[in-house]
Amino acid sequence: MAVVSAIPLSFIPLALLLNLARRFPGRDLYEYATILLGNYGGKIIIVFLLVYFTGVNSFFLYDFAYLINLFLLPVTPTVVIMSVTLLIASYMLCQGVECLGRVAAFLFPVVLFFLLAGLLTNTGKINWDHFTPVLEQGFPRVMLGSLIKMSYLGLVIVAGLLLPLTGGDYRKQGKTLIRVLSGSGMISLLIAAFTDAVLGEEMVKRVTFKFFMLFRHITFQGTSLEPFFMFMWVSVFVPVIALFQYAAALGLSRVVATDNYRYFMIPVGLITIDLALLMFDNRTEFQYFGTYIYPPLTAGLLFGVLVLLFLAGFFKGKVPG
């Protein structure tokens, strides 16, 4: 239910994004802010977004490093895993943001195949009675879940804000964003449904990596398929971490009025690692942040900033082109 509610809600900020792309083709989020709010007002928004992107990236980086440390490299210090991850992301971005897009495009069909295979092989373990306790908790539980799911679907909006819809192709690229958001919503719905149906609410509450548990149930000729989950985890999280690192470095470059974001990749990465280590002393603090802080913070970004820019453009009478 939460994912079903989150999908249409996510189209509201997407509509605002596409309106800005129509008005200012070839521009990104930071340029929207500077054009519509002026130099000083724009820089205030950029600083706010810079802090947001850096803080949220530390959240993703901690989650990624925690799983790698837990299942693959138990004796490797977490800070080493974080550092190597950000170095890989920095290297990709130093080759140009197009490199990140090509990597993501190459990995997407492979990740989708293993994801769907993991879901389909669990169909025999579905217990429909597991849905009953979730539905009994009513509307507040659904709305909280919707906010959480929307914050993760919002990654599509964030990508659209940072990677401008260029020239006359913004309509075509806008349709691509709509399809990507719809597809992401459907995948999230499938993952949430299968996780609850196979594991049950009590198990979902206890385990740290819920979707990972589905792959632990699968064996092929006596071999566990856990490595395929790890491949998916790395393939999804490294581009996401790189995207937020790019967002923070690009924002910092706009604040100091330079066009080359590459100068700031390493400083932003070091700050991200420090924040990840300082913000989360344990998994409980991380879960609290992911449930009660990150979702409203992201919703505030998507709605607040986009609505502000939309209204600023409306009252200033901007026209397309």
pLDDT along the chain (321 residues), means of 10: 62 79 82 89 91 91 88 88 92 84 80 78 71 53 51 64 56 72 74 72 65 67 69 82 90 88 92 92 83 80 84 69 41
Q: pLDDT value at position 275? A: 93
pTM of the model: 0.83
The residue with tokens 């499938």 is 190
Alpha carbon separation from 293 to 159, 288, 299 (Å, rounded): 21, 7, 10
Task: Identify each DSSP E strand in 63-222 by its residue range.
Answer: 219-220
The superfamily in CATH containing domain 2-316 is Amino acid/polyamine transporter I (1.20.1740.10)
Q: pLDDT value at position 80? A: 94
Domain ranges of the chain: 2-316
Cα separation, 280 vs 67, in Å, equals: 14
Integer-rounded Cα Rg, in Å, for the chain is 20
Residue 208 gets which letter from DSSP? Answer: S
Kindly give, in sequence order, each residue whose CB lies less than 8 Å from that of residue 249, ignoring residues fewer than 6 positions away. Answer: 93, 261, 262, 264, 265, 268
